[in-house]
Structures are given as C-alpha cells and as structure tokens.
Amino acid sequence: MSTRKLVLLRHGQSQWNLENRFTGWVDVDITEAGRLEAVAAGQLLKTEGLAFDVAYTSVLKRAIRTQNVVLEALDQLWIPVIKSWRLNERHYGALQGLDKAETTAKHGEEQVKIWRRSYDVPPPPMDAADPGHPKHDPRYAAYDVNALPATESLATTLDRVLPFWHDAIAPDLKAGKTVLVTAHGNSLRALYKYLTGVGEKEILEINIPTAIPLMFELDDQLKAVSHRYLGDPEAAKRAAEAVANQAKQK
C-alpha cells in the first residue's frame, strides 16, 4: 500500500483573531505575528522533508497570504495554486464582527459553544440587506445568489466543502500528489470530521490552532491511516486549548 500525504494548515493569526472577533467570511488580513507563524510553519514543513505538488486555498486573504508565505519558505512559490470559495471559513452569520467574550457575556457559555462547535446548529443568519452579505461581494458574483450562505453550521460547511474535495483535491491525491490545503478553523474542522470519521459529539471538542501543519497519511482509497500535528505535540495541544477558550468571559 502506498500512502499519500495531505497537509491541512489553518492560516496564521489574523487581525480579528487578535481582537477576538467572530470572522467567518470577512476578509481580514493576517498580523505580523501571523506572518511569522506562517514562516515557522514553512520551516517546519521543510525540516520534515515535505514538498508539495499542488496547493489549495480559499478566496480569503488570511489563508492566501499564509499559503504564499509557507510556499516561499519552501521555495515552492512556483507550484499550481487553486483558490475556491468552498474552502472559505464557515459563514458566521449575524455573529461576524462581534467580540467572542462579549457574546458569551450576553448569551451564555453553552449557547456560544453550540454556535462555535456544534455540528448542525448554525448561528443566527446575517440580514440579506447587510452590505457584508456575500451577494454584494464581487468575488462571488459568478455564483448563484441562492447558493451563497447568510450563515452556516459545520454540517452545511461540510456540504459545500465536499464537492470540491471530490472534484479537485481527491483526484490529485489519488494521482499520488502531495497536497497542501491552507484554509480556516471551521472549514478544516469539517474536512477533519470527514477524513477521520469522528462523531458529532467528538467534533465539539476539536479546535484547530493557527499555522500548525496537520499531516494526514491516506491510503489508496483516501482513508486516513494516520494524522498528527508536525512539531511539538504539547505546543499544538496548548494552542488548540487556547482556541477553545477564546469565548470565555474575561
């Protein structure tokens, strides 16, 4: 059996990660700390001897920029890069822009955990007239307005990630290519759920830290045979816990 390598990477710290605000489809950039995290991720991938044949990312600049920094560190800026809105962060509906700790103070820890981490409960939707609705954004102009979300649960995020997985990413892996996917906390949680088969209860406790490469080895049928964070496992664990605690009241 030959194994195929897939690396999932969440973007480096963004301005709204720093400000602790729900982000979703808002196109905020990475901070200088986020850029340095991406450089470190690239160096780690290099140390592990990884080289990619193709890279995928979303249409949001925090992921695009992180991926560019990583590919630059690997001296692989030349490889094909495919961007798709299907790898975007889960749309956070009416929560986008709100402070996470303040949202907990208002709605309670349990409700906010349901919105952040449950499998099938979406946050309240964004108003269609909101200027931040994706139908007003030229990057989505080519798509059917009805297909553009005003909120998403993890389940509906997975529903729109999967066609892209099957049409684009999976064929590359089956062809033996080593693939990098640079995306977002929740679009990657959706993919993580699909690849590992974890249940709806377990996915509640999965938090993906920024810019720590998560390497999957897949069999010929693309079933995950192993997955691990590269680098120090304790550091990855601490970083995931910090993500889980972001909504705690100050």
Ligand X SMILES: O=C(O)[C@@H](CO)OP(=O)(O)O
- The verdict on whether residue 231 carries a ligand-binding annotation is no
Contact yes or no for 208/236 (Cβ under 8 A): no
231 touches 212 (CB < 8 A): yes
Residue 180 tokens read as 């990098």
Q: Is 89 in the site for ligand X (CB under 6 A)?
A: yes
φ/ψ of 180, rounded to 5, equals: -110, 130
Q: How far is the CB of 87 from ligand X (least distance, A)?
A: 13
19-27, 37-45, 46-54, 122-130 -> range binding ligand X (CB under 6 A): 19-27
Nearer to ligand X, 86 or 100 (CB): 100
Determine which residue in the list 56, 85, 92, 192 makes contact with ligand X, applying CB under 6 A. Answer: 92
- The yes or no reply on residue 22 touching ligand X (CB under 6 A) is yes
93 is a contact residue toward ligand X (CB under 6 A):
no
Nearer CB in complex with ligand X: 24/134:
24
Q: Note whether 62 binds ligand X by CB under 6 A.
A: no
Six-digit token string for 111:
């409700």
- Respond yes or no: is residue 11 known to be catalytic: yes
Nearest-approach distance from CB 150 to ligand X, in angstroms: 15
Q: In this complex, which beta carbon is closest to ligand X, that of residue 52 or of residue 85?
A: 85
Angle formed by the axes of helices 185-196 and 154-164, nearest 10°? 70
> Which position has the token pair 């550091």?
235
Give the C-alpha separation, 185 to 164, whole Å.
Answer: 17
Q: Choosing from 19, 37, 89, 109, which is the catalytic residue? A: 89
Tokens representing 79 are 């490889």
- Pick from 195, 188, 151: nearest CA to 173: 195
Residue 172 as a binder of ligand X (CB under 6 A): the answer is no
Q: How far apart are CA 54 and CA 57, in angstroms?
A: 10
Longest dimension (CA), the chain: 53
78 is in an annotated binding site: no
152 binds ligand X (CB under 6 A): no
Q: Which residues contact 47 (CB under 8 A, 6 or more apart)?
A: none
| Chain residues in the site for ligand X (CB under 6 A) | 17, 22-24, 89, 92, 100, 116, 185-186, 243, 246
Annotated binding-site ranges: 10-17, 23-24, 62, 89-92, 100, 116-117, 185-186
Q: Which positions are annotated as active-site residues?
A: 11, 89
Annotated binding-site ranges for substrate: 10-17, 23-24, 62, 89-92, 100, 116-117, 185-186
